[in-house]
């Protein structure tokens, strides 16, 4: 599983012009699920999202996590993160998880994140979404759970 995380002052996701998820300060995480990913990887990615230190401490160093600052999470499924872009001019999605598996693992990730007690908002799996954000920094990282077994 892959997460592209961005530290934000605010973020929202809309479907058909209606906001379905919004947060204030925290992390926007675009989530890609790859073929072969497991529930254990969803749990590990949730741990990494909650504990990854991207917020400033008193010395202005990135030493605090979203959990430490009591921030929020906006989790948005994005299958294109699982694309293979190594060759040519068009992405291959052969490495992306099938939709039913991807949705189940995304939902497991959301469940784990919500168990933290932080505010967690989500996008809608398979929907045409519009995501807006104010990137704080900007600060953007790509996180992975353990790579899928091959």
Q: Which residues are catalytic?
A: 78-80
- With b meaning 16 or more CB within 10 Å and e meaning fewer, what string describes 16-55? eeeeebebebbbbbbbbbbeebbeebbbbbbebbbebebb
Find the distance separating the first CA and the last CA of the chain, reported in whole Å.
13
Alpha carbon dihedral 103, 38, 146, 80, in 10-degree steps, equals -30
Structure tokens at 137: 């920094």
Structure tokens at 108: 């497991």
Q: How far apart are CA 42 and CA 112, in angstroms?
A: 8
């Amino acid at each position: 599983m892959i997460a592209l995380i961005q530290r934000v002052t605010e973020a929202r996701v809309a479907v058909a012009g209606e906001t379905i998820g919004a947060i204030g300060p925290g992390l926007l995480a675009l989530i890609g699920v790859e073929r072969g990913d497991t529930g254990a990887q969803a749990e590990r990615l949730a741990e990494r999202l909650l504990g990854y230190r991207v917020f400033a401490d008193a010395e202005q160093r990135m030493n605090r996590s979203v959990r430490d600052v009591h921030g929020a999470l906006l989790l948005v499924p994005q299958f294109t993160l699982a694309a293979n872009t190594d060759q040519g001019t068009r992405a291959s999605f052969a490495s992306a998880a099938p939709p039913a598996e991807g949705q189940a693992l995304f939902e497991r990730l959301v469940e784990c994140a919500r168990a933290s007690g932080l505010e967690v908002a989500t996008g809608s799996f398979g929907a045409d979404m519009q995501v807006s954000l104010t990137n704080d920094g900007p600060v953007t990282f790509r996180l992975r759970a353990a790579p899928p077994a091959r």
